[in-house]
Amino acid sequence: MSTPSIFIDGETGTTGLGIRERLAGLPVALRSLPEALRKDAAARRALMAEVDVVVLCLPDAAAKESVALADELGQRAPRIVDASTAHRVAAGWVYGFAEMAPGQARAIAQARRVANPGCYPSGAIALLRPLVDAGLMAPDHPVTVNAVSGYSGGGKALIAAHEATGGPAFNLYGLALEHKHVPELQQNARLTRRPIFVPSVAHIRQGMIVSVPLHLDTLPGRPTAADLEDCLRHHYAGAELVGVAPGNADLDIAELVDTDRMILRVHGNEKQRQAVLTASLDNLGKGASGAAVQSIALMLGLVAYAHLGEAADA
């Protein structure tokens, strides 16, 4: 059997570099174009015809153009993992969050086209989808998602600004409530009511905390915080990269930096009948490059490198 080959279209960006680094540990062959040809459509299309998987680490418009190039190849078209926002709610694309639901890892393995999840939605969906599926949260529940990320997820301009000037220390943004991650968050968490999403950036290169505050008496059956934690533990039982830890502790945004893991917690106060759900992850790991490589491993049948544990298709 020949070694699977991969072309990263946009390999010099933050996500592309992270994927290259992680793929070094897999039995795959990386193909590249000379720098002078990286924007040459004919050269890109020719290389696409020679590889098994193309990974798109591009702005949305450029990602759509690359997909169009692949479409021109017909039966010779490679399988695609798109790390942009362009296809996350598009028909015909499988969402690349393997632990999200039973059967998701299998769907990724069989898919021709996989949309890599956004960093913020990864944490929110990980917290919310199990509760909705278990009936502990109504699909039309008025959900608010707050999140803080390291600046490395904001693109070259934001990275340069932070590394050149040292700030700002904290920046709340997206207050027009039209953040591009909301559609995938809503669709994959199975919410029928559009959630409020409030993102922010801290002056730290990597790391992320996503939080969801809840009034427990507004949930079906009036569950306790322990009930919510039990639901999450059951859903992710055996998963290698997504785990559940005890709540009611201070959180360090950098606790999972340089890993592909995600840790979920339920911080509850039964006296006040309130809880805050949190997801900690590296915005460049499980929130970007790590998730993409997990999907690539599944698509190429390299299951030992997908780190699924027992929860893959339970």
Summarised one tens digit per residue, pLDDT across range 145-172 is 999 999 988 777 777 778 777 778 899 9
| Residue with the larger pLDDT of the pair 283 and 309 | 283
Amino acid 1: pLDDT: 62
Give yes or no for residue 92 having a pLDDT over 80.
Answer: yes
Amino acid 106: pLDDT: 97
Question: What DSSP assignment string belongs to 62-93?
Answer: HHHHHHHHHHTTGGGPPEEEE-SSTTTT-TT-
Amino acid 314: pLDDT: 33
Report helix, strand or coil for 98: coil
DSSP state, 152? G
Amino acid 311: pLDDT: 45
Give yes or no for residue 312 having a pLDDT over 60.
Answer: no
- 213-227 pLDDT tens trace: 999 999 999 999 999
As annotated, the active-site residues are 119
Give the global pTM: 0.94
- 15-74 pLDDT tens trace: 999 999 999 989 999 999 999 999 999 999 999 999 999 999 999 999 999 999 999 999
Region 106-124: mean pLDDT is 98
Give yes or no for residue 313 having a pLDDT over 50.
Answer: no
What domains sit in the chain, N to C, each tagged with a CATH number? 5-116+288-311 (3.40.50.720), 119-283 (3.30.360.10)
| CA 18, 19, 24, 30 torsion-angle sign | negative
Amino acid 163: pLDDT: 79
Q: CA dihedral defined by 132, 186, 308, 106, rounded to 10 degrees? A: 100
Amino acid 37: pLDDT: 93
Q: Would you place residue 307 in the very low, low, confident or very high pLDDT band (cuts 50, 70, 90)?
A: confident
